[in-house]
Amino acid sequence: MARYGQAFEMQVLVWGREGTRARAAEDGVEVAASQDALFAHSDVLSLHLRLNDGTRGIVTADHLARMKPTALLINTSRAPLIEADALENALRAGRPGQAAVDVFDEEPVTHHPLLELPNFLATPHLGYVEKDSYELYFGDAFDNLLAFAAGRPVTNLAESTNT
Q: What positions carry a catalytic annotation?
A: 78, 107, 125
Instruction: Please answer whether residues 91 and 119 qualify as being in contact, where contact means their C-beta atoms are separated by less than 8 angstroms.
Output: yes
First-to-final CA distance of the chain: 36
Overall size of the chain counted in residues: 163
SS3 of residue 144 by DSSP: helix
Listing DSSP states for 62-127 in one string gives HHHHHS-TT-EEEE-S-GGGBPTTHHHHHHHHTSSSEEEES--SSSS-S--GGGG-TTEEE--S-T
